[in-house]
Amino acid sequence: MADGTMTLDTPWKIAALIGLLAFLRIFWGLWREAPSRRLALELLDSGLIAFLLVFVLVRPLVVQAFFIPSGSMLPTLRPGDRILVNKFIYRLSPPQRGDVIVFNAPPYALSEGDGQKDYVKRLIGLPGDVIKIRSYDGVYVNNRRLDDPPGVPAPQYDWPVDEFNHQPLEEGHTVGKDAYFVLGDNRNDSNDSHQWRDSITGQSRPDLASWRVLGKAMVSFWPPGRLGLVSDHVQVHPSKAPRQVVTAPSADFRAGKDGHEPR
């Protein structure tokens, strides 16, 4: 997830800063007779204009910085990374399969007691796509296995499964109209579409409404050693190769050397 954007992330904070700058502007305006004070007034004007441009135009509509607090997108994004999200690009063209997107999490994706949060995941399914996940094999989109970026692990679960969580459903899940299916690159430790359920009925609710998408993750800019572009649809696409038959490892192997199930 990508909750806790940057420090100035709520309207009241932005309004308070704008009010403070406006107050200082008026205060210094009373002393504009002195040349040195006129210079201070000009600098304050410039600062106020820049602040308004950033927090009234650029941040809400164009680009915004987000902090990554969890490992759900490993190895693509690490805890502590700061990324820039393009909030304007999807006004020009729709999201594409493989994009890393930031979105406002739906209520059924949140833990009890959580307020509004923004998540970052990879877009896997577009409207009308049929999604299947096969344990120790991969993610299938319209019966073609998805080629992921290097380092993304194979899932250790089947999805969707029957009501008893025993057998995978061959028909898969069809993504709804005006909706998307998203997964974390850390396939086996991510609160994503395959995990989401209605808190009352317990029914799976994997679809993410398209209107919840805030933008596309473009660049990781901090820490300096992590500077670079975030992978997208150019790297992720359905394979043209036929489906491979993969035998799941034994129970002993799945448990790992320490005898604990992997997360």
**pLDDT tens digits along 43-88:** 555 555 555 555 554 455 568 888 999 999 999 999 999 998 988 8
Point out the catalytic residue in the list 72, 190, 204, 220: 72
Strands 144-147 and 228-229: unpaired
Q: Work out the pLDDT band at 5, boundaries 50, 70, 90.
A: very low
* Nearest alpha carbon to residue 160 among 111, 191, 205, 122: 205
What is the pTM (predicted TM-score) of this model?
Answer: 0.71
pLDDT tens track for 137-183: 999 999 999 998 889 999 999 999 987 777 888 999 999 999 999 99
Q: How much is the pLDDT for 101? A: 96
Is-catalytic flag, 13?
A: no
Q: In the prediction, which pLDDT does 248 show? A: 44
Choosing from 70, 87, 93, 121, the catalytic residue is: 121
Span 89-123, pLDDT tens digits: 898 899 999 999 999 999 999 977 677 899 999 99
Which carries the bigger pLDDT value, residue 23 or residue 83? 83
pLDDT value at residue 129: 96
Give residue for tokens 């909706």.
179
Read off the pLDDT of each residue in 119-144 and give the average, rounded to a whole number. Answer: 95
Alpha-carbon span 215 to 52, nearest angstrom: 21
Q: Among residues of the chain, what percentage have pLDDT more than 70? A: 67
User: In this structure, are residues 124 and 181 in contact, taking their beta carbons and an 8 Å threshold?
Assistant: yes
pLDDT in tens, 184-216: 999 999 999 999 998 888 889 999 999 999 999
Whether 121 is catalytic is yes
